[in-house]
Every structure is written in C-alpha cells, then in structure tokens.
Amino acid sequence: MKDVRAVQSRKKDARDVIGAGGELHQVAGGSHPQMTTNQGVAIGDDENSLRSGQRGPTLLEDGSLIEKLNHFNHERIPERVVHARGAAAHGYFELTASLADVSNAAIFKNVGERTPLFTRFSTVAGNMGSADTARDVRGFAVKFYTKEGNWDLVGNNMPVFFIQDAIKFPDLIHAAKQEPDRGFPQAQTAHDTFWDWASLSPESTHMLMWIMSDRAIPRAFRMMEGFGVHTFRLVNDAGKSTYVKFHWRPKLGTQSIIWDEALKISGSDPDFHRRDLWNAIDMGDFPEWELAVQLFDDAFAESFDFDVLDSTKLIPEETIPLRVVGRMVLDRNPDNYFAETEQVAFCTTHVVPGIDFTNDPLLQGRNQSYQDTQIIRLGGPNFAQLPINQPKCPMRNFQRDGHMQMGIPKGRVSYSPSSLSETTERADPLNGFTSFPATESGDKLRVRSATFADHYSQARQFFFSQTEPEQNHIVSAFVFELSKVATEAVRLTMLGRLANVDMGVAQRVADGLGYEGPIPKASAMVATRTDLAASPMLSILAQFKPTLKGRLVGCLVADGTDPAVVTALVAEAKKHGAQVKVIAPKVGGAKGSDGGTIPADFQLAGGSSVLFDTVVVALSEAGAATLVKEAAAVAFVHDAFAHLKVIGYTAGAQALLDKAGVLADAGVVAMGKPSPYLTAASKGRIWAREPTVRAVY
C-alpha cells in the first residue's frame, strides 16, 4: 500500500487533482485559478481535514474546515439545507436486553424500562416541497429523552455514506442540489454536477451502489432499516471501551418500490410516505423497529479488512451478528408540524454518559457542524428551550440571554466557580460525562489514512450480494441517471469507476447508454478484492418473508360489482393485517349487483394502482365493458401488472385485463374465495414477470 504523503508530494500540473484516496486523476480543461479561503489565503488541500496522525481526531484549529462548514450551514434560512422534507412521530424505546456489561448509560441498564423519544424521517437532497419518493438517502434521526439527558442517534437508512471526511460534505450537497445557475433539477441526482463530482470522488463508489439500489426508494418509512452509520464507543462502569454500530430493523420487514412506480407515485401522491406514517399511527397500527448493535473490540478493529473509522465501509452482519437490545414504537403523531417536526434539532454531539465518539473524520466534522446549523436555522443559541428539544430531566447551567431566551434565570451568580450562593450549579466529576481517555499522537497533517484507500471492494461485495432482480435495478438506475448527464466525459469517467467494481457491471451500464468504445479503468490506490464473501443480509429480497401486515390492497369496483366479493376480501385481508381500499369511477361509490351502494375510498383518477401493494379487479362484465373505455381504469390494471404486483380478478373483469395487456402468470389470480389471492399477494412482487415488461440491461 502506498504511503499517502508520498502520493501527495507528487508534482502535478494544473489539470491534475489528487483524489480522496490519494490517486491522481485528470480534470478536463486548462489552468485553474487558485482556491482560497474567504480571507484570500491559498488552500493547499480541500479534501482532507487537519488531524493528529493519519487516524487521529480532527483538530479544532483547522480554520479552512470551520469556515467551509460554517458557511455551508448558513446557506439557507429557515429551511434545512439538507433533510428539509421530513415526517416525524412520538414514541418510546423499550430495553429488552441489558447492555450494562459494555455501557453505563442508564438507557441500556434496566430491561423493560421505557424511554420517550421523537423520531424524524426525511429525504436528503430535496427541498421542503419536493416529493417523498425521490431516489435518495433517507434520514432516520431519533431523539431519546433519557433520564441522563438527550441522546440523538442521527442516522440514515443506509449504513454507509458518500464521503470519508466532513470537509467534503458541502461539495457533495452542492453537487447533488439543483444547479445554481438554473435552479433545477431538484430532489434528484440525475444531472451533470452530481455525477461530475461523483466521478472524481472514488470514495463515493460504495454508496453509489446503495443509492442506485432499491434501498433508495423505500415503500414506507415504517418499512425501511436505519443505521447510525459511524462507529461509536460504549463505555462501561470500569471505563472499558467497546466499539458499536447501531442498527434499526423494521418489524414489518424491509420493502421498496420500483423506479417507474416511484415516478408515478410522485404524481399521484407526493406525500406518500408522510401520509402512510401518519395514517398508520392514527389507526393504531403503530410502527415498530428493533434496535440492534454490532459490538467489537480493538483486536477486531485492527484485524478487520477495512478501517472501522471509514464511513464508506460497513461490517457485514455475517462477520459480526446483530445483538438485539430493544424496540422502538411510534405511537403518537405530532400535534403541530412546525413546532415539533420542523423545530426538532438533532446534533450528533448530544450523547449521554456511556456513549462516546471515535475519530471517524466524518463524525468529527458532524460534531462541529450540527450545533452551528441549529443556531442559524432556529434563530439563536436557545433552541434547546423549545419544547420538542427540551430534555425531560433537569437542565441547569450558566448560559444566559441570547435571541429568544424563554427562561427567566434568577440570582446574581451566572458564572463558575462562585462562592456567593449555596444553590448554584456545580460540575459533577463522579456522574458527569467524561470522554474515553484514548491515547492520541501524531504529526498535524492534512492527510487521508492509507487504510481508507480501498474504494471498490465493498462496492463489489454489495452488488454481488444482491439477488438478480436487485442487480438489474442497480444497473438500470445507473443507466437512467447517467443518461441524464449531458457531458460525455463525465459518463466515461464514471464507467471507469464502475470498471474497478466489476467490468461486467460497467459493460452492462455502457450497453444501456449505447457506449461502444473501450472502458478504461480509473486509477486506484488499492486493487479491488474479489474474494469478499457475499453478504445476503445486504439484500432486501434475500431477507424477505411473506407478509401482508401493514400493506394496502386496492379493490377496483364499478356498477354491477358483487358486494359479497368486496365484503369477503375486506374480512380476510384484516386477518392478514392488511387494509382494503375501494376505488370506483365516482367517489360516491358504485351500485352493487344487489342494488345497494358499495362505498368508495378513492375516485378512479385519484386512486391509481401505484398507491397499493396489490390490487383486485372486482367487476361484472357490464362494469368491465364500461371501464375498457376509461384510460384511468386501463392504466390502473396495466400499471399493476407492469409493477409486478399480484392481481386478483373476477371472471367479469377479463375484458379490462385483456385491454390492459395482462398476461396469465402466477401473480394473476382468479377470485373465488379471497384466501388464494391473499396468499399469493403475501409473497410480494412477481419478479419472474419483470423481463417481460421492461428492458433488462
């Protein structure tokens, strides 16, 4: 492995750029003006924070880092720069297995104890008015109101991230956001600036595999996993440190939608995820997750194939199995969206005794950035006094005044130490928070540790851990995104990155783009490993277990439908934990074959099949003859088939199925009693149908 400082010392011309892993790559064009700070000081390295040693902590004296992050944090008011579009709920965490052996945090000691919490889910790139189903990372942030103070576990629905060092975060978001000269496109990365940045940031390759996978288009917030991303520390009563990675696992299982469906949901219901979360809680169907941890020590960290401080890497669950320690239940919707969901302020520095940080350079930068962000977004330093942010244990200190001070501090003493009052606050050396006394040493350098330099091996492992349909979706997503990139050189550079993952994958993407030339591999500091075992736990479909719990069944009716079919379907679906929603040509419902009215939940134009997990077409011959002339009805059935959903149908509906191009397969089920149909629907999408309805690159 090459020494990073040696690589950094190489002479380079004006077109050369040192990549995040130390490799040298070319940027088209002539000479470039010198980058400086806002004070006009030339910047020598804009990709590595200043730290003590290659794997040491980031230093507060790094003025370039502080300036860059501070300016980025203050770019927008009052909307969040990232994670602007969110939904949240109140609930509780219940400890089910003690962690007292590895942590002295009170929240991890007493089995059965419940801790109140507030959880916010969000997209990352889109503005507040964007659609829920954009291809994006999803934020998964939990504020625990523990007896020892607030603990914020600020994570995502993916266990890795695009960058290794926080100094690159503003660049990532600037590249992904709408292009500044034109203000579009937003809530998507399918444009030149993002892929230009990504193609020149090889460390992002692993995360690109995740973001192009089905993980980026979840079915619902309550059906997605969550991750703390970073390696943290737990510290026990004896002062012993244990490394930890946090995982949230949804009780309903992990489920995603497919890309064409995501696009159509954005038009049918841009609030799809937010509505789903609200409705589930409102009905008493409370979403639930298990909290699990991966625990390991220094010996494992030293022997593991990758650096545990690198946020672009993960530890497969087959290597360190998850230890389930508790459950989160969300059981109450917010009373006011602005006061709670918008004003909640998460900070990675909000930890309690027994939970501590590591030298992960992305985490170190987040620790600085979040507090500053909340100050500008919420108007001042007193944001902790807002009800949603207040701890549920006493809060006492000598911080005074400031914008929007809501308390009335009493007494003449507002400093420490003091002797003029017997009731002033004092530090508590015995019970107060103390950092783990890790030994740190090393030169002050702007350098990326050589242990961070393998950017492709885990990306390859992720791809080959997916089932065939999931692999096809990743390739298709790359084709779609890169086809939106107008600059051919960017597309070719990205193909070179993919070639380092696997030449076969790169060639499939190239074929989808219509590129016929050779694909030159990009330079790499570390050769891609091909010996990493597949990890089935990284695949959604490999983990899938048949269920209809929490799912929606859409039942299309029209005049002449037999109401007994609908009644039986509703009753049987309820036994499976599913809900049935009725769609009719008119919102007032349809006239049943018995002369009565079948109530409707949706009018046909507003109840497209993309809103449901599976559908039933319950029509008489006369009803079908009417609906074959209605484009919305034909699209309802056609989309359900194209989106690989199980379709139940009555004999009278055949004309509409024929008009919609439905072909017989295991997912097209004749409706007698509803049980066979619901059993088929519980098994999920009909993946064998996919090659017959869309191109597979």
Q: What positions carry a catalytic annotation?
A: 83, 156
Q: Answer positive or negative: Cα dihedral of 62, 68, 71, 72.
A: negative
Say how far apart CA 97 and CA 101 lie, in whole Å: 11
**Angle CA 441–446–447, to nearest 5:** 80
CB 179 within 8 A of CB 193: yes
Would you say the C-alpha torsion 459, 460, 466, 468 has a positive or negative sign? Answer: positive
Q: Is the previous residue joined to 185 through a cis bond, with omega within 30 degrees of 0?
A: yes
Site of tokens 């040491």 = 56
The 10 Å CB-count burial string (b at 16+, else e) for 372-406 is bbbbbbbbebbbbebebbebeeeeeeeeeeeeeee
Cα(672)–Cα(649) distance, rounded to whole angstroms?
A: 9
Tell me how far apart the alpha carbons of residues 599 and 370 are, in angstroms, rounded to a whole number.
49
- CB neighbourhood size of 565 (10 A): 23
Token pair belonging to 505: 């994958």
Q: What is the edge-to-edge ordering of all strands in the sheet holding 579-584? A: 602-603, 579-584, 552-556, 614-617, 647-649, 668-670
* DSSP β-bridge partners for residue 245: 294
- Say if strands 24-26 and 602-603 run parallel, antiparallel, or are unpaired: unpaired
Which H or E element spans position 410? none
CA distances from 208 to 158, 382, 494, 635 (A): 11, 38, 11, 33
Q: What are phi and psi of 173, to 5 degrees?
A: -70, -40
H or E stretch including 376?
helix 361-377
| Residue environment code for 141-155, b if the CB has 16+ CB neighbours within 10 A, otherwise e | bbbbbbebbbbbbbb
Which pairing describes strands 24-26 and 16-18: parallel, antiparallel, or unpaired? antiparallel
- The candidate with the shortest Cα–Cα distance to 108, out of 352, 438, 392, is 352
Q: Which residue has the tokens 């804009």?
A: 46
The Cα–Cα gap between 115 and 92 comes to 5
- Residue ranges of alpha helices (H) inside 137-290 are 169-176, 192-199, 205-211, 259-268, 272-282
Question: For residue 124, which of 66, 169, 78 has the smallest C-alpha distance?
Answer: 169
